Chain A
């Protein structure tokens, strides 16, 4: 959906130079003896769309609320550019925030909602209507201007919340699972709109979600979190294709984990390995490694062939663009294999015996003992 062109008086276009970088240094948040956020450090660049991704309870929302000022920072520091904000009260931080349930003031009209922050920031009264209208126009909700939000749809409330957050021209924009309460279709539309809006305003944005697909599609960079720790930081492509540990590999997308034993070799790039005790191949590792390891293979990286791991198809699911097979290997392990319908339209019958193979240079390999990433 294209954004409308702003008329005169639009004040939101600004260069990247105006937005701020956010530096998180060794921050800690404890509830009793439990560390919800455990010594996390991150550098978020000015104008970047940065996502905190993780399962519920991983500390992502806690960290976001520390930046917003709703949670105290028990240790470490958070900086906007060079300025530490640890002890600045929440209402003086100049941060825009979009809440999961939108948090629209129910007793105010849409206009009053959006004007609320401008009044608090002591914007001259004569400038307020222009700014509010521009924000409403940007979010394509000018027609709702004088209505009360109580009977509005989730999508409309979401737009009001966004308009209200950006109208104060915040240094940083925080979003706490803003799309989780929308239906599937609207979620994808709003995803694009938020991304385009962020590009256009060039505002540093920190986005929290547990939806990995959403994170991959919207972010410049992603930090994957687990149990108060950062598991990996990187661009969506790297997070998906080069997960640095089994957790990220399993959390982002679907992964089949196979056991494997690596043996001695002269060249780490050609380490002989025995997968699931049956399938021999050379894995391209980044260093010398001997012993038990784990191979992570995505379903779309698997293919049926005349050699490889032998098993039986136990379930076939037709999903439109691909067919998903559940294959039970001879040793009892169950894996998932995808075949794309643009390549084959034949659905293999349940009970067919197959060989599953994969290209060694695509898979990820981790040491079994400590999960250290071994693949190149």
Chain B
């Protein structure tokens, strides 16, 4: 028998390499974190001390309750806003529909704590609106604490619900609702008994994303929460505080928050598995043409919600051009803030784009290969890879930051303080977007196209690059754009990992806000906002609206 193996199979090598990388950059750091969470301050060896004090002391466990409280409330309010908006936008001829759609995506993609920051600029103790209203004798009360966090989360995250659900709603076959009507259902009854249950899986996915993002977010509660402390802020404090930092306790807190978000994701998986409908939309629902006042009343709520949600970014843009003197805003406009950041803060800008660009290249290459392994090379390894790649989805940025520091601050891997560790954190956290959308796209692709290429004499490796990669491009692109935008806006892991040399724009905005240097913070935030908008714009031009962002 003659064997003509040229060497190990291409996909076998890729599989091994991917698994090794996963072990080094995901399993190892996270297990280090878990192990660390069982080390105490006083006792030697492994102990449950940290967990015990967490559940005993209100100072600690209250943060978890607060986190769950704001996340649940924000999920609920985001549903209340997102669901009707999805229905209006898919079923009626809303005036300026495309504009509202793009602006909704924009508010979702805004830098993480820009919302909090702008609301402070407007309605904070010294805010513009607060002062004007005070002159008229109106007091709006405090926006700090729980209310502020919930309002900002809602306005930032409702687009997730809107995007997921409107996607599903435009996929319902018209005949489904028609037959409900035919059987004598009224409009409201039809919506409640047919439309909503059918899009339930998408509602659940949207809600879970909102919940997890809210649970993991660090910037917003840090800026506007004040006395109302949530778990990610507590983790940051415990880990970073200059006096009495306790990284063992911080590790325990991290493990607790990861368990919470894993449970939510698990719950969603179980629920979706039970209520998943396969839709073959032969005839998508038609848009109802409204006229005159009816159209106005349908458009108004959409316009209001979207305008309020993009308000922070407009505020930031305007603020960046206001003349400042240190922390104080003067009358009149100038480019002073921009000149200031160019002389003092150009490093964070170049860092942000350099790190993100490197990360996105790695994400695209690895993401495509991993997506291929997951979809085409099924089996145990594929399932394991799928799980591992998606795992960072439940890890809040700050937790990932801590894990990486714990893992890579001693020999043999010393990476702390380097650009590499920030890029690694970007790749780990943002890759799921690209893998998800690439694999979804690949699933629709007929494998026989690849087989045809192999059959014609092209090796599997070359086939991947010549045929598969080319055809996956739209799916990869829509994931990569999300990875890219979230990379440039990333705060919660970078704030743990940065040093003076590796500061990014987001981190600088945070430190500038803390230093009350509002003008420069606004200018930096504007750079991010404009970059984000530009990326989205280019993406939409290239994809011609054929692929969706979420």
Which residues of chain A are near B452, meaning CB under 8 Å? 97, 99, 103-105, 161, 164
B4 touches A92 (CB 8 A): yes
**Shortest Cβ gap from A210 to chain B (Å):** 17
- Chain B residues whose C-beta falls within 8 Å of the C-beta of A95 in the assembled complex: 455
Complex Cα distance, B455 from A91, in Å, reads: 5
**Beta-carbon contacts under 8 Å, B49-107 to A:** none
Q: Is the CB of A168 within 8 A of B457?
A: yes
B448 touches A99 (CB 8 A): yes
Given contacts A92-B4, A99-B448, contact A107 B470 (CB under 8 A): yes
Closest Cβ–Cβ distance, residue B348 to chain A (whole Å): 40
Residue B2 at the chain A interface, CB threshold 8 Å? yes
Q: Do the beta carbons of A87 and B456 come within 8 Å of each other?
A: no
Given contacts A101-B448, A103-B446, A103-B448, contact A90 B1 (CB under 8 A): no
User: Considering the chains assembled together, what is the distance between the CA atoms of A95 and B463 in angstroms?
Assistant: 16
Chain A: interface residue count, which band?
20 to 34
Among A68, A87, A94, A120, the one with the most B-chain Cβ atoms within 10 Å of its Cβ is A120
Q: How far is the CA of A88 from the CA of B4 in the complex (A)?
A: 6
B451 within 8 A of A: yes
With an 8 A cutoff between CB atoms, is B460 at the interface?
yes
Q: Which A residues lie within 8 Å of B449 (CB)?
A: 103-106
**B546 to chain A: closest CB distance in Å?**
13
Q: Quick check: A116 and B451 within 8 Å, CB to CB?
A: no
Q: Chain B, 531-550, contact with A by CB distance < 8 Å: what is the 0/1 string? A: 00000000000000000000
Given A84-B1, A86-B1, A90-B454, A101 and B459 touching (CB < 8 A)?
A: no
Complex Cα distance, B111 from A184, in Å, reads 58
Q: Is A89 an interface residue (CB 8 A)?
A: yes
Q: Number of B interface residues at 8 Å Cβ cutoff, please give it.
A: 22
Most buried by A among B455, B457, B463: B455
Interface of chain A: mostly helix, strand, loop or mixed:
loop
Contacts A94-B457, A116-B453, A117-B457 hold; do A87 and B448 have CB atoms under 8 A apart?
no
B318 within 8 A of A: no
Task: Tell me which residues across on chain A come within 8 A of B457, comparing CB atoms.
Answer: 91-92, 94, 117, 120-121, 168
Please, which residue of chain A has its CB at the minimum distance from the CB of B467?
A105
- In the complex, which residues of chain B have a beta carbon less than 8 angstroms from the beta carbon of A88? 4
- Taking the closest CB of chain A, its distance from the CB of B61, in whole angstroms, is 49
CA–CA, A364 to B406, complex, Å?
80
Residue of B nearest to A94 (CB): B457
Asked if A279 lies at the interface with its beta carbon under 8 angstroms from chain B, I say no
Chain B residues positioned under 8 Å from A105 (CB to CB): 449, 452-453, 467
Let me know if B3 is at the binding interface, CB within 8 A.
yes
Known contacts: A91-B458, A117-B456. The answer to whether A106 contacts B471 by CB under 8 A is yes
Which residues in window 88-126 of A have CB below 8 A to B?
A: 88-97, 99-101, 103-107, 116-117, 120-121
Residue of chain A at shortest CB distance from B450? A103
- Name the contact of A90 in the complex, choosing from B3, B448, B455 (C-beta under 8 A): B455
Shortest distance from the beta carbon of B9 to any chain A beta carbon, whole Å? 9
B471 touches A107 (CB 8 A): yes
The answer on a CB contact under 8 Å between B471 and A96 is no
Does B5 count as interface, using CB distance less than 8 angstroms?
A: yes
Q: Is A318 an interface residue (CB 8 A)?
A: no
Chain B residue with the shortest CB-CB distance to A107: B470
Q: Does A340 contact B (CB under 8 A)?
A: no
Q: For residue B4, which residue of chain A has the nearest CB?
A: A88
A77 to chain B, nearest CB (A): 8
**Interface flag for A70 (CB, 8 Å):** yes
- Residue among B3, B4, B452 with most chain A CB within 10 A: B452
Known: A70-B451, A103-B446. A120 touches B456 (CB 8 A): yes
A349 to B458, CA, bound (A): 64
Q: How far is the CA of A116 from the CA of B5 in the complex (A)?
A: 24
A116 and B471: CB pair below 8 A? no
- Complex alpha-carbon distance, A93 and B454, angstroms: 10
B7 to chain A, nearest CB (A): 11
- B461 to chain A: closest residue by CB: A91
Residues of B within 8 A of A91 (CB): 454-460, 463
Identity of the chain B residue whose Cβ is nearest the Cβ of A77 in the assembled complex: B1
* Per-residue contact bits, chain A 111-148, to B (CB 8 Å; 1 contact, 0 not): 00000110011000000000000000000000000000
Could you tell me which A residues sit within 8 Å of B by CB distance?
A: 68-70, 84, 86-97, 99-101, 103-107, 116-117, 120-121, 161, 164, 168
Q: Give me the 10 closest cross-chain CB pairs, A-B, nearest first.
A: A117-B456, A120-B457, A103-B452, A103-B448, A99-B448, A97-B455, A120-B458, A103-B449, A91-B454, A87-B3
- On B, residues with C-beta under 8 Å from A are 1-5, 446, 448-449, 451-460, 463, 467, 470-471
Given A104-B449, A120-B456, 16 additional A-B pairs, CB 8 A: A87-B1, A87-B3, A89-B459, A90-B454, A91-B456, A91-B458, A92-B457, A94-B457, A97-B452, A100-B448, A101-B446, A103-B446, A106-B449, A116-B458, A117-B456, A161-B452
Q: List 20 A-B contacts (CB under 8 A).
A: A69-B455, A70-B451, A70-B454, A87-B1, A87-B3, A88-B4, A89-B4, A89-B459, A91-B458, A103-B446, A103-B449, A103-B452, A105-B449, A106-B449, A106-B471, A107-B470, A107-B471, A117-B457, A120-B456, A121-B456
